[in-house]
Amino acid sequence: MTRRLHPRAVRFLLARWPVLVRLALWSVLETGQSFLIGYAPARALDDGFLRGRTDVGLGWLAVAGLGVVVGAYGTARVYGAVAALVEPLRDRLVTRVVERGVRAADRGALSGLTQQVEIARDTFAGLVMVSRSFVFTAVGALAGLFSLAPQLLLVVLPPLAAGVGLFAATLRPLARRQEVFLSADEALADRLGALCPGLRDITAAGAEDRVAADAGKLVDAELRAARSLARFGVLRVAALALGGQLPIVLLLAAAPWLLRHGVTTGALVGALAYVTQSLLPALHNLVHGLGTSGSRLAVVIRRLVPEEGEPDRARGDTPVATEAHASTAPHTDTPQLPPSPPPTDAPALTLASVTFAYGATALPVIDDLDLTLPSGSHLAVVGPSGIGKSTLTALVAGLLEPRCGTIRVCGEAVPGRGALARRVLIPQEAYVFTGTLAENLALLRPDPVPDAELLAAAEAVGLAPLLDALGGPEGRVDPGALSAGERQLIALTRAHLSYAPLALLDEATCHLDARAEERAEQAFAARPGGTLVVVAHRISSARRADRVLMMDGRHTAYGTHDELVRRSARYRELVGGWTPVSRQRSEPALALGYADRVDAVAGPGLAGDGRHVVAHRPVGQVQAPGDLRDGGSLGREG
């Protein structure tokens, strides 16, 4: 990288040689200041104070003060010359970024103009200042040491040269590691930006371990890059100690030898002044400025003005550095592995004395609930709005943990890795991403889905018309162009293709008409070895189910639809609220009504559904007539 930048940098500087000459001339004034900072005190001691000539000593100190004033004047003029060198670079970078943005529709052009160009400008200006300052300060200080006593150079110059050489040797590998670190940091930020909006879907799909492993690789890559960068930071400290602090020790240790060989006391004091007041600060600024900012400038310049044929990382043409690379395609984030065979005769779902409340002091939403659901069953969960139906599915899915009690899916404890692979939750707000339809449908499968299996699932669930309209499995999906019902059909088909035997439909068909809902539920009920739990919002869903769980405050009722109609007044009242009109359309419930008014998990808020603020119900819809009012805790009906 630096090899490709060097010729371009040299050409840029040579084209502005008059500015460089003006910059050098003004910097000579700083050389005079650096020369006098040690020479004047040495003469003040040797020719003045140590000989009892106070006026001479004060005169030399006045000369040193005058040198500081002149140096400050030169420094002020240096800034103008630096600006004449830096601003053309900024203009050139802006021109290149704009040209690339217009020509290639670069989505990173705005960031380049507003941030990266300014970083390059400020960093380049800082590099010019620190490198120029070190060169002229070192020349002035070394000239002063030679003027005082040539022997002083034998003590100061070797460690100074060794420190500068060590630092120079670290520049190229430091730049490479700086780029790797920045690439790793960008890759991690991009991945987290993609994952955070879909955390609920990741948990619902049981993909926490896979996603955590993928993200963990990026975290580890950034950690390795940071450690590698830090190791070179240690070398910079060593270079600073070798070139700037070791000369002080050597001057003190060699003081007797120097004094015996004609070095005066004033010259020794002046040498210490040169090292501590000129060389050490200049070397410190060079190491920290050029070491960090220089590598950063090289990275930024390369991103803003890539070579022909070189991947444009600012635009995202290629993945980042190898050790930080990870795919950002959303369909690779959440596959489910085929579950191992469940224990013999294990129920599909078991809840034992489960209690849950939103808060330590809140009343339980679910209180001491027992439920056993055999494999292959079809259960409808019904009840008035906010009674805890979605909370129940969140507990079974592992999104929430009960206050007490146990939950098992196919014999595996919830939460747990085994249970994650055996259940799939389809929320009301379906997650659909930009890509092909096949990629969306295969989201929960680690292996390629055969076309025949995919088409069969689409036909069974009712997705076939949309599949044909999009041009088949390879048709492109634009989430914003789909209706809420179409997104639900995609999510339902995706779950149907998963390996999970237990499907949890948390009002996942609320945007479908009654016929489409029936078809989807029958497809899940007919899956070999599959078990279906549906949060019902139509009486037809309860009629189709093998069993119905009615949740109503402190009471629950469990049985078939006909049994509950006969023995549960609450259920009869609820069924009466399902009018013939409501059987023809979705009737999502109102917002939760329990004390804490906290929903299980917020939904991803897909485009086109801005009015939905929670995962399982929209805001502003009227509750179906006859629905029971919100109740208290959930118990059992005798």
Three-state SS sequence of 335-372: CCCCCCCCCCCCCCEEEEEEEECCCCCCCCCEEEEEEE
Residue 607: is its pLDDT beyond 60? Answer: no
Residue 171: is its pLDDT beyond 70? Answer: yes
Determine the pLDDT at residue 246. 92
Question: pTM for the full model?
Answer: 0.46
Q: Is 398 helix (H, G, I), strand (E, B) or coil?
A: coil
Read off the tokens for 325: 């690379």
- Residue 541's Cα: distance from chain center in Å? 42
Instruction: DSSP for 555-583, please give it.
Output: EEEEE-HHHHHHH-HHHHHHHHHS-TTGG
Q: Is 435 left (phi over 0), alpha (psi -120 to 50) or beta?
A: left
Mean pLDDT of 348-360: 86
Determine the pLDDT at residue 101. 53
Determine the pLDDT at residue 602. 34
pLDDT tens for residues 83-124?
Answer: 777 777 767 777 766 665 544 444 444 444 555 666 676 777
Mean pLDDT of 523-531: 86
Mean pLDDT of 596-619: 33
Determine the pLDDT at residue 329. 33
- Residue 338's Cα: distance from chain center in Å? 30
The CATH-assigned architecture of domain 2-306 is: Up-down Bundle (1.20)
d(CA 445, CA 425): 15
Mean pLDDT of 544-552: 87
3-class SS string, 133-179: HHHHHHHHHHHHHHHHCHHHHHHHHHHHHHHHHHHHHHHHHHHHHHH
CB 236 within 8 A of CB 167: yes
Share of the chain above pLDDT 70, in %: 74
Determine the pLDDT at residue 506. 84
Determine the pLDDT at residue 65. 86
Residue 351: is its pLDDT beyond 50? Answer: yes
Cα dist. 530→155, 325, 496, 508, 510 in Å? 84, 38, 10, 17, 21
Q: Which residues contact 344 (CB under 8 A, 6 or more apart)?
A: none
Query: Which of 229, 278, 235, 272 is CA-nearest to residue 252?
Result: 272
CB 504 within 8 A of CB 426: yes
pLDDT band for position 584 (cuts 50, 70, 90): very low
Backbone angles phi, psi at 468, to 5 degrees: -65, -40
Q: Which residues of 336-370 are buried (b: 16+ CB within 10 A; e: fewer)?
A: bbebeebeeebbbbbbeebbbbbeeeeebbbbbbe
- Selected residue with higher pLDDT from 67 and 249: 249
d(CA 21, CA 321): 40
Q: Which of 148-157, 191-200, 599-608 has the highest mean pLDDT?
A: 148-157
Query: Which of 380, 410, 475 is CA-nearest to residue 206?
Result: 410
Fill in the amino acid letter for 181: F
d(CA 2, CA 9): 10
- Selected residue with higher pLDDT from 598 and 541: 541
Ranges of each domain in the chain: 2-306, 349-430+501-584
Determine the pLDDT at residue 375. 87
pLDDT tens for residues 381-439?
Answer: 988 877 888 888 888 888 888 888 999 888 888 888 888 888 888 888 888 888 888 88
Instruction: DSSP for 98-133, please give it.
Output: HHHHHHH--TTHHHIIIIIHHHHHHHHHHHHHHHHH
Determine the pLDDT at residue 614. 31
In this structure, the number of other CB atoms found within 10 A of the CB of residue 214 comes to 18
Domain 349-430+501-584: CATH superfamily is P-loop containing nucleotide triphosphate hydrolases (3.40.50.300)
Residue 74: is its pLDDT beyond 80? Answer: no
Determine the pLDDT at residue 600. 35
d(CA 376, CA 347): 9
Q: What is the mean pLDDT of the chain?
A: 75
Q: Is 80 helix (H, G, I), strand (E, B) or coil?
A: helix
Q: Is 220 helix (H, G, I), strand (E, B) or coil?
A: helix
- Selected residue with higher pLDDT from 360 and 560: 560
Determine the pLDDT at residue 303. 59
Query: Which of 106, 95, 92, 99 is CA-nearest to residue 312?
Result: 106
Determine the pLDDT at residue 622. 33
d(CA 323, CA 516): 47
Read off the tokens for 604: 């991803």
Whether omega for the bond prior to residue 159 falls within 30 degrees of 0, making it cis, is no
d(CA 364, CA 388): 10
DSSP-derived letter for residue 409 is E
Instruction: DSSP for 232-296, please give it.
Output: HHHHHHHHHIIIIIHHHHHHHHTHHHHHHTT--HHHHHHHHHHIIIIIHHHHHHHHHIIIIIIHH
d(CA 347, CA 338): 19
CA angle 52, 54, 59 (to 5 degrees): 140
Residue 28: is its pLDDT beyond 60? Answer: yes
Fill in the amino acid letter for 203: T
Residue 320: is its pLDDT beyond 60? Answer: no
